[in-house]
């Protein structure tokens, strides 16, 4: 059994909460299935790709729409940056498919496969950096620090 997840299920990023949460859930379910099905000879492999060339980012960016008075206007560029982040320097999809096919054909295939841009870097950052540092890095990367200057009017 091969479950295609994402490295975003290991390290969540701003503006992708539901996507990251669904991939984290798939990672957890795959971990449980791997243990439960092993006695029956069923291998469960979780693939956690990083950036793989696709139209995913472009389609996500084309859906970004913020009202002119939205408190998120100052971070609109960060939202668009996040939508396209995985495509900069992404692994070609045919290269990903070839490498993945070779790996899963091997009986000694690892239970978790990470291929593509930042597929190893993101989990490493998640494991090594204190949570507050990682939060700050991602907040700056995607312009969330610009929201500190926004005054929210409460009714």
Provide the token pair at 21: 């949460």
**Catalytic: 102?**
no
Chain center to CA of 93: 16
Strand partners, 52: 91
Residue pointed to by tokens 């971990």: 31
Q: What is the DSSP string of 59-88?
A: HHHHT----TT-TTGGGHHHHHHHHHGGGT
**Catalytic: 72?**
no
| Spatial contact of 58 and 84, defined as CB atoms under 8 Å apart | yes
Q: Report the alpha-carbon distance of residue 83 to residue 124 in Å, rounded.
A: 22
Q: What angle do CA 24, 103, 48 make, to 5 degrees?
A: 15
**Exactly one of 19, 72, 76, 126 is catalytic; which is it?**
19
Backbone torsions φ then ψ of 150, nearest 5 degrees: -85, 130
Active site residues: 19, 23
């Amino acid at each position: 059994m091969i479950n295609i997840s994402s490295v975003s299920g290991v390290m969540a990023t701003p503006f992708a909460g539901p996507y990251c949460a669904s991939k984290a859930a798939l990672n957890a379910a795959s971990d449980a299935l791997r243990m439960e099905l092993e006695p029956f000879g069923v291998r469960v492999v979780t693939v956690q790709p990083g950036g793989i060339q696709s139209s995913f980012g472009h389609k996500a960016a084309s859906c970004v729409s913020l009202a002119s008075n939205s408190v998120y206007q100052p971070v609109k560029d960060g939202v668009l940056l996040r939508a396209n982040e995985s495509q900069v320097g992404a692994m070609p999809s045919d290269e990903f498919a070839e490498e993945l096919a070779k790996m899963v054909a091997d009986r000694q295939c690892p239970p978790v496969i990470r291929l593509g841009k930042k597929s190893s870097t993101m989990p490493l950052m998640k494991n090594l950096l204190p949570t507050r540092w990682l939060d700050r890095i991602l907040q700056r990367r995607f312009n969330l620090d610009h929201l500190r200057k926004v005054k929210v009017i409460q009714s």
